[in-house]
Amino acid sequence: MKVWIEGRVVEGDEARLPVTDHGLLYGDGVFEGLRVYGRQVFRLPDHLRRMGAGARAIGLEIPGGLEALERIVLETARAHGQDEAYIRLIVTRGSGALGVDPSTCRDPQIICIVDGIRLYSEEKRSRGIDLVTVSVRRPPSDVLDPRVKSLNYLNSVLAAREARLRGADEGLILNLQGTVAEAAVANVFAVRDGVLRTPPATDGALAGITRASLLEIAEAQGIAAREVSLGRFDLIDADEVFLTGAGARMVPVASLDGAAVGTGGQRPVFDRLDAAFAEFVKTRGTPL
Ligand SMILES: Cc1ncc(COP(=O)(O)O)c(C=O)c1O
């Protein structure tokens, strides 16, 4: 693991952060999860744009701006040296007084962690994962805007914890209206009669970059795709369901709340999109 911190790249176990950083004290900051595919950082400008928007939304000025972030990501990924990797980019509010007021923080910290990728097992990928609807709901945007990828991820942490306690792989999170928002750290897609559907960001989904890529790929492949509200029933009734995200990439869902999804493990749309995605990543990367 290589880590950029305080202006240089160090080994993972050498990276240190002051305990008074509001990123630690209050989850005050923003982050991104990116992937290196074939020595290229996938959709780096899109990740930086999303991080910039999130930082503006919480009034956090990124030292050196997006140009500095780009340089840091590429330098850390080069130091890591692997063709395939996972990148975690973080900007904290910095050290300040113990109160929540961020105006006492003077030195936002940029941290970039590059590590190997933890993938689902091949067995999970081919069989599909088990999903359960969890009891925690995605907060509405006037409580904690899910479109800001902030360090305040306790909502997702508790969703993932509940899913594991109940013996499932991932948790499905509903919004306060009871429609599907997303999974803890992944977007949800359902296929019914050849049409691809995913909830809109206004239903509590992060505007995922993998999600946007699949919508783009579907259009190019002539697969009808819609951003539309989905209920739990729509997923159980779907022919195929899958999750997407920088970490998960694309992973099929075998069951929801114990009910099998689809029939006989056939996933023609997923398989087509999965193959197209493998080609797509080659065309949308920033070389190291
Ligand atoms: C809450 C949430 N939803 C969805 C996603 C998927 O987004 P992306 O495809 O940009 O990784 C993430 C990614 O980390 C996430 O944290």
- Picking from 115, 143, 170, the residue at the C-terminal end of a domain is 115
204 lines ligand 1 (CB under 6 A): no
CATH at 60: 3.30.470.10
- Picking from 89, 115, 141, the residue at the C-terminal end of a domain is 115
Q: Are 15 and 258 in contact (CB under 8 A)?
A: no
Count CB-CB contacts under 10 A for residue 7.
Answer: 7
Q: What is the pLDDT of residue 70?
A: 98
75 and 189 co-located in one domain: no
Measured distance CA(79)–CA(146) in Å, rounded = 32
157 and 263 co-located in one domain: yes
For ligand 1, atom 2, name the residue with the nearest CA: 185
144 and 184 co-located in one domain: yes
Q: What is the pLDDT of residue 66?
A: 98
Residue 271, phi then psi, degrees to nearest 5: -60, -40
- Picking from 88, 115, 142, the residue at the C-terminal end of a domain is 115
CA of 206 to the centre of ligand 1 (A): 6
For ligand 1, atom 13, name the residue with the nearest CA: 185
User: Which tens digit of pLDDT belongs to each residue from 142-182?
Assistant: 999 999 999 999 999 999 999 999 999 999 999 999 999 99
Q: What is the pLDDT of residue 10?
A: 98
Pick from 209, 205, 53, 231: which is nearest to 141 by CA?
205
191 and 282 co-located in one domain: yes
- Within 8 A by CB and 6+ apart from 50, the residues are 32, 149, 207, 209
Task: Report, in angstroms and rounded to the nearest whole number, the Rg of the chain calculated over CA atoms.
Answer: 19
172 and 267 co-located in one domain: yes
- Confidence bin at 93 (pLDDT 50/70/90): very high
CATH at 277: 3.20.10.10
- Confidence bin at 61 (pLDDT 50/70/90): very high
**How many structural domains does the chain have?**
2
CA of 188 to the centre of ligand 1 (A): 10
Determine the structural domain holding residue 268 and report its residue range: 122-287
Query: Residue 202: CA atoms inside 13 Å, Cβ hemisphere, count?
Result: 3
Whether the model clears a pTM of 0.85, i.e. scores above it, the answer is yes
CA of 185 to the centre of ligand 1 (A): 5
Catalytically active residues are 149
Is the pLDDT at 264 greater than 80? The verdict is no
DSSP codes, 231-254? -HHHHHT-SEEEEEETTTEEEEEE
* Nearest ligand 1 atom, CA 184: 1
For ligand 1, atom 6, name the residue with the nearest CA: 245
CA of 97 to the centre of ligand 1 (A): 31
Is the pLDDT at 119 greater than 80? The verdict is no
Q: What is the pLDDT of residue 1?
A: 97
43 and 136 co-located in one domain: no
Place of tokens 């005050």: 28
71 and 148 co-located in one domain: no
10 and 147 co-located in one domain: no
| Pairing verdict, β 187-192 and 2-5 | unpaired
169 and 236 co-located in one domain: yes
263 and 169 co-located in one domain: yes
Q: Are 15 and 135 in contact (CB under 8 A)?
A: no
User: Which tens digit of pLDDT belongs to each residue from 95-114?
Assistant: 999 999 999 998 999 999 99
Helix axes 209-221, 268-283, angle to 10 degrees: 110
105 and 173 co-located in one domain: no
Q: What is the pLDDT of residue 265?
A: 80
276 and 153 co-located in one domain: yes
